[in-house]
Amino acid sequence: MIEILEAILFGIVEGITEWLPISSTGHMILLNEIVSLDVSDEFYSMFEVVIQLGAILAVVILFWNQIWPFGKKDNKEPLAKTGAGAYIKWDIFKLWFHILVSCVPAAIVGVLFDEQLEALFYNYQTVAIMLILFGVAFIVIENYHKGKKAKVNTLVGIDYKLAFWIGMFQLIAAIFPGTSRSGATIVGALLLGISRTVAAEYTFFLAIPVMFGASLLKGAKFLMNATMTSQEGVILVVGMVVAFAVSLVVIKFLMGYIKKHDFKVFGWYRIILGYYADLPALSDKIPHTVSFVINRIGRIIDTVFLCNKEAAFFVGCEGGGICFTYTITDINRTLLMKMCYHV
């Protein structure tokens, strides 16, 4: 019974964090440090990936009309006016071609180096680092883009070049847990001039082949080298079902949220979570260069202010900003952190 409750908890965490740009894999790794399932290591390695199939099913159901490329009804760009071509939605086919291009970088690296990358980076130390780094990225990028109009406001506007570069950002998440696949692709899309809404939708659609492929790879490797017990089977099914149900709610929430708000709140959440993910203990466990970067993160936030209407960089609180100060403690010292809000 305890294992079922824990599977439900993992499903809830997966369903929430898969779509918010805060890293589902990172949260699953951190959760497993606190609540460990009574399963084999081989099964858990497969479980934390395959559980995503439940979340993906939610995307398929919610966006079915936008991703299914066949049908005469609401066909805005038929391949032909008559015959079989009238039932082919060419605009959706082109969207899938672009999505496949975005999948190529992560697919190549995943197939060739999956086990090596998992052994090197799938730990809470990497998660903490990447949570903070991309949290800072969200805040800086959102402030930089404040007031600017997006260059791409429709899915049709994403061409092959943009699709490839979005795929390169996704590759970062494929290598480093804690980055967040959705977070990396959204950050990349924003930098490329794509609107928040389109970036989020494209990220959802991109997740379909990526997660199906990753789940198929993990599931196949597990079945070739191990046997699933009946208890493990129940845990997997329960986790997937709960992840599906929670994802339905979270996706609807996120699509409504980003129409009126930016992603900075998720950036701050990532920084706080990364900091408290046992970050002070990392100084003896990670390379000096990485430790140096972490030590400077507080200083970066300290000295870079985005207080004026044009979202230019400031040192200090000029430009009519109200300055709030508080302290955070990093590995070696206490830093004074300042946040400026323009009024």
For residue 241 the two structure tokens come to 């079902």
| Per-residue pLDDT, 324 | 38
Q: How many CB atoms lie within 10 A of CB 227?
A: 10
Locate all alpha helices (DSSP H) within 146-229, ordered by sequence. 160-175, 181-191, 196-225
φ, ψ of residue 141 in degrees (nearest 5): -65, -40
59 and 131 co-located in one domain: yes
Long-range contacts of 290-293 (CB under 8 A, 24+ apart): 290/129, 291/331, 293/129, 293/133
In Å, how far are 19, 39, 306 from 155, measured between CA atoms? Answer: 18, 42, 30
In Å, how far are 40, 59, 71, 290 from 184, measured between CA atoms? Answer: 31, 19, 33, 19
209 and 329 co-located in one domain: no
Residue 124 and residue 178: Cα distance in Å, rounded?
8
205 and 343 co-located in one domain: no
pTM for the model: 0.73
256 and 334 co-located in one domain: no
Q: Which of 254, 277, 300 is the last residue of a domain?
A: 277
| Per-residue pLDDT, 278 | 55
Q: How many CB atoms lie within 10 A of CB 66?
A: 14
Q: How many CA atoms lie within 13 A of 327 on its CB side?
A: 4
267 and 318 co-located in one domain: no
| Per-residue pLDDT, 316 | 40
For residue 208 the two structure tokens come to 């379909």
In Å, how far are 24, 169, 200, 272 from 21, measured between CA atoms? Answer: 8, 13, 10, 14
214 and 317 co-located in one domain: no
175 and 297 co-located in one domain: no
The one-digit pLDDT tens for each residue of the chain (343 residues) are 788 999 999 999 999 999 998 888 778 888 887 888 888 889 998 998 899 999 999 999 999 999 999 998 888 899 888 888 899 999 999 999 999 999 999 888 888 887 788 888 887 788 888 889 989 998 998 888 887 888 999 999 999 999 999 999 999 988 888 888 888 999 899 999 999 899 999 999 999 998 888 898 889 989 888 889 999 999 999 999 999 999 999 999 999 998 888 889 999 999 988 887 754 444 444 444 344 444 444 444 443 333 333 333 333 444 444 343 334 444 333 333 334 433 3
| Per-residue pLDDT, 98 | 96
Residue 239 and residue 242: Cα distance in Å, rounded?
5
Q: Which of 240, 260, 277 is the last residue of a domain?
A: 277
Question: Whose structure tokens read 């920084």?
Answer: 271
161 and 232 co-located in one domain: yes
Residue 239 and residue 233: Cα distance in Å, rounded?
10
335 and 229 co-located in one domain: no
For residue 214 the two structure tokens come to 């990753």
Residue 106 and residue 252: Cα distance in Å, rounded?
27
Range of the domain at 243: 2-277
Of 105, 282, 278, nearest in space to 181 by CA: 105
80 and 205 co-located in one domain: yes
Q: How many CA atoms lie within 13 A of 83 on its CB side?
A: 3
Residue 290 and residue 331: Cα distance in Å, rounded?
12
300 and 267 co-located in one domain: no
φ, ψ of residue 34 in degrees (nearest 5): -100, -45
Q: Which of 244, 260, 277 is the last residue of a domain?
A: 277
295 and 273 co-located in one domain: no
Counting the structural domains of the chain, the total is 2
Question: Whose structure tokens read 């959705």?
Answer: 182
Strands 334-342 and 321-329 turn out to be: antiparallel
Show the 3-state SS of 14-74: HHHHCCCCCCHHHHHHHHHHHCCCCCCHHHHHHHHHHCHHHHHHHHHHHCHHHHCCECCCC
- Cα 262 to chain centroid distance, Å, stands at 15
